[in-house]
Structure 1
Amino acid sequence: MTTHTHDTVPTQFVEASGIRFAYRRFGKTSGIPVVMNIHFRGTMDHWDPAVTDGLAQEREVILFDNAGIGASSWVTPSTIPSMATDAVAFIKALGLTKVDVLGYSVGGKVAQEIAVQAPDLVRKLVLVGTGPRGADTAASKAGEIFSATYDPPEHLWIAAHFLPNEKGYAAGLKYLERKHRRKDRSPEVSEVSATAQYAAIVSSNEKSDGVWDYLADIHQPTLVVDGSNDLIIPTINGYTLQQHMPNAQLIVYPDSSHGPQNQYPELFVAHTNMFLNA
């Protein structure tokens, strides 16, 4: 067990495919590590320490900034499969041959593509607040939420992750307090990188015949976690994942939106550890 926590673990760097990846790893060093893939406009510092430190009690946690994000170099790709290719290069550069992969929002789309591209590398998947290729976004409020102005600006993440009610706002404030305890943080995502991420999301959500067929080939045990009313990637997408993946289970948390793991961190850690330990 390392002595570091989310707030104290040093940032390290590794090079692969011409990219200098920034990453942090901490927790219990035996067993299969879990590699975490973050959301749109997110860096390593957008993970909830209550989640990462909770998971680190039972396994090694690896956080990283993908290409062009935060403290990592290079250019952010404009497709999800290219993001996954970079993530696979990062994982292999650490000398790892088997990992669990956790993906949140667009990171969940990347996690699926990692399993498609490198099936032997991935043991289990945890997909949070995400959807498949060709996701149903008809009821999404993402455009409205991300185009609004917030005072302070960090309250964007309350609107994006939590429901606009008293319970959601209170949970959002607690999340932001936990999130900002760390002092040496990755740089915020640039507008150039955010534009590339947005293009990747739009491309990934395009509808076509057989767009979900790839899910049948993801045989890894998969835990899908959703909020009951996800305002960014509507909750129905979690059900689609569970129905089309051969070895998936779905948990929907009550009275929650796009960040159920941030609203119920202890419960999420318990469910995730139970799933990964099984």
Structure 2
Amino acid sequence: MTRIGGNPAISTEHAYGLTLRVARWRQGAGGVPLLFLNGIGADIAAAAPLLARIDGREVWTLDMPGVGGSPDTLLPYNAPTMASVVMEIADRLGHVQIDVAGFSWGGALAQQIAVQFPERIRRLILMATTPAVTAPGIGWAALLDSDMLASGMKLPTATPLGLAYQGLAMAGWTSAAMLPQLKTMPVLILMGRNDGIVPASHGQMIANLIDNSVLEVVPGSHLFPFTHAADISLRISAFLDQQPQAAQQQQVAA
């Protein structure tokens, strides 16, 4: 059994015919809960060192079908369907409003959720992601990520079908026409300075589409949320804890 750091509460949720493993840190804590959406093929255990560090709120995540503790699904799914699945689970957890953070593939899904359910999302954090998932190698190419190699970190494996369906879900997907709708939502975009998989220019593309969003290029390569977990968790918390007026002033300054 894969060890998951930080002792989260683990449950199995069923929605839209899918069975998904869910992990919740600091269950029932006050404030707005944070949903984290992981990269392709990465499971709860990979995200645990980051999520366990984010204090002061409930933080939850889930394994996609065929990843970690979630079994394969018989049929493929698309981004809008998975967004609906995730928000159905949020309903069952009692989360009327949430903050959303997404990394890589999960950053694309986070964008889809934000434009599909804008009234449910308070703040959005996008990390090492893109407004168009068309570049080959996202996910497996992270096996050669310089930060990961230096740290000895290993990505967990997913089933071949799980990986195939995750890739298929975003085939031809783009948020370019939808992102301008998020101009009133506080959005933080974090990109790795040495990311060779999703270069920082992709973050700039997102920033150009969302008025008043904040773009920061941080040290590290593609897996910086995990290999620089201490620094990134502090940046996430600072953004989520900002008062609305302070957040607006930061966006204007950016």
TM-score of the superposition, structure 2-length normalised?
0.82
Cα distance, 1:76 vs structure 2: 6.5
In structure 1, the partner of 2:229 is: 265
AA partner of residue 200 (structure 1)? A
Matched, 1:193 2:162: yes
Cα distance, 1:68 vs structure 2: 4.5
Cα distance, 1:246 vs structure 2: 2.0
Whole-angstrom distance in 1 between the partners of 2:212 and 2:64: 27
In structure 1, the partner of 2:251 is: none
Deviations 1:178-237 (A, max 9, x none): x8xxxxxxx9421112111122333225xxxxx622110023211111111322222211
In structure 2, the partner of 1:169 is: 149
Identity level (%): 25
In structure 1, the partner of 2:39 is: 39
Cα distance, 1:53 vs structure 2: 1.5
| SS of the residue 1:204 aligns to | coil
Which one of the candidate residues 182, 189, 201 is aligned to 1:236? 201
Deviations 1:66-121 (A, max 9, x none): 34443235347442222222212221222210010111111000001111111111
8 A Cα contact 1:104 1:130, kept in partner: yes
In structure 1, the partner of 2:128 is: 129
Whole-angstrom distance in 2 between the partners of 1:18 and 1:114: 19
8 A Cα contact 1:100 1:123, kept in partner: yes
TM-score of the superposition, structure 1-length normalised?
0.76
8 A Cα contact 1:123 1:221, kept in partner: yes
* Aligned CA distance change for structure 1 residues 168 and 41 (closer, same or farther; 3 Å): closer
In structure 2, the partner of 1:248 is: 213
8 A Cα contact 2:8 2:26, kept in partner: no
AA partner of residue 56 (structure 2)? E
In structure 1, the partner of 2:247 is: none
8 A Cα contact 1:102 1:126, kept in partner: yes
* Aligned CA distance change for structure 1 residues 75 and 250 (closer, same or farther; 3 Å): farther
- Which sections of structure 2, spanning at least 5 residues, go unmatched? 243-254
In structure 1, the partner of 2:70 is: 72
Whole-angstrom distance in 2 between the partners of 1:62 and 1:41: 17
In structure 1, the partner of 2:83 is: 84
In structure 2, the partner of 1:59 is: 57
| SS of the residue 1:11 aligns to | strand
Q: How many positions carry a matched residue from both structures?
A: 236
8 A Cα contact 2:142 2:223, kept in partner: no
- Which sections of structure 1, spanning at least 5 residues, go unmatched? 147-155, 180-186, 206-210
Cα distance, 1:10 vs structure 2: 3.8
8 A Cα contact 2:66 2:163, kept in partner: no
Q: Tell me the C-alpha RMSD between the 2 structures.
A: 2.5
Deviates more, 1:101-110 or 1:193-202: 193-202
Whole-angstrom distance in 1 between the partners of 2:230 and 2:75: 33
In structure 1, the partner of 2:252 is: none
AA partner of residue 227 (structure 2)? Q
